[in-house]
Amino acid sequence: MDPRAKLAGDVAIGAYAVVGPDVELAEGVWLGPHALVVGRTSVGRRTRVFSFAVVGEDPQDKSFDRETSELRIGADNVIREHCSIHTGTRKGGRVTSLGDDNLLMNSVHVGHDAQIGSHCILASYSGLAGHVVVQDHAVLGAYTGVHQFCRVGESAMVAGGSKCAQDVPPFALVHGDRAVLKGINAVGMRRRGFSPAQIAAVHRAYHLIFSSRLRLEPALARVRAELADSPEVARLVCFLESSERGFCR
């Protein structure tokens, strides 16, 4: 451990773990044996980093020129064995970030400038390329791959082995190479505490946008008119309208 690192008093560090000089570890952080935490990295309270995880290393980006960049990790995350999470780059705002209460299973890769929300699950061997955004409560099945600059919306479920080359809409269930829409993630919404009426509103919005044979703009206009009282539908519409890569259908 570098003596310049900033550690709370109750941080636990396993045998042969490495902590770099610019690292900050908050209260209750636990590093397993042989874990590596380096770079300008801050780790929030009670986060656990397991053996052989590599956290805060330089980006895998040929344009990276040793510019100052960061990795910010929130509270109560679990980062399992052999995960790799890299700092940001000049092109992406210099910051990679994870929110709170995320589970990254073994061998997950989080590329430079990725932005992961809170309460997400990334199953084993999933990979996020640079500049990916994963919103709150999303679930990525094992061996999922997400293309650079793609977004995965809130409470979306990406089935194992899927390859996402376009945005995954909020509340969606997608599968395949390339990933296509299979319905809404009603199970995930119920687990999150959404009411039957809220789920029904999202289901109606999905029908109008993806199954009604309306073109996108008229479909969105009808969704706004019929479902104006649904904040979940409003977030869905905003997500689709802001898509730069297109979205799964």
Q: What CATH number was assigned to the domain covering residues 188-241?
A: 1.20.1180.10
What's this model's pTM, rounded to 2 decimal places? 0.96
Check 130, 145, 153, 188 and give the catalytic one. 130
Q: Give the residue-averaged pLDDT of 130-140.
A: 98
CA distance linking residue 168 with residue 206, whole number of Å: 13
- Extract the runs of DSSP E, i.e. beta strands, from 74-219: 78-79, 84-86, 95-98, 103-104, 109-110, 115-116, 121-122, 127-128, 133-134, 139-140, 145-146, 151-152, 157-158, 163-164, 172-175, 180-184
Q: Where are the domains of the chain?
A: 6-131, 188-241
Band of residue 162 on the pLDDT scale cut at 50, 70, 90:
very high
Annotated catalytic, 130? Answer: yes
Annotated catalytic, 112? Answer: yes
Helix (H) or strand (E) holding 63: none
Check 100, 101, 113, 167 and give the catalytic one. 113
Check 112, 119, 131, 147 and give the catalytic one. 112
Nearest to 33 by CA among 50, 48, 45: 50
List pLDDT tens digits, range 204-246: 999 999 999 899 999 999 999 999 999 999 999 999 999 999 9
List pLDDT tens digits, range 15-46: 999 999 999 999 999 999 999 999 999 999 99
Same CATH fold assignment for domains 6-131 and 188-241: no
CATH architecture of 6-131: 3 Solenoid (2.160)
